[in-house]
Amino acid sequence: MNDNAIELDTLLSTPELCGFLGISRDTLYEWREINTAPPAIKLPNGHLRFPLAAVRDWLNGRQERAA
């Protein structure tokens, strides 16, 4: 791969992300309202896509350490 190549990531749709996380669509939109949801890309048609790598980073940032 050359230095100018764009590395593509898997993009999850809203239903795919909700299934992956085991949450409802309503929960995802509540999280988006309070800015705690995984980062999303808004497409020109208004649909959201969630880069899988960003979702994994988001999940890793929410791990709790045992007390």
- Tens of pLDDT, residue by residue over 20-43, are 999 999 999 999 999 999 999 999
The sheet with strand 41-42 has its strands ordered as: 11-12, 48-51, 41-42
CB 62 within 8 Å of CB 21: no
Query: What's residue 11's pLDDT?
Result: 95
Going by pLDDT thresholds of 50, 70 and 90, the confidence category of residue 64 is confident
CB 43 within 8 Å of CB 49: yes
Q: Tokens in use for 34?
A: 């309070």
Average pLDDT, the chain: 89
Give the whole-angstrom CA distance, residue 60 versus residue 19. 18
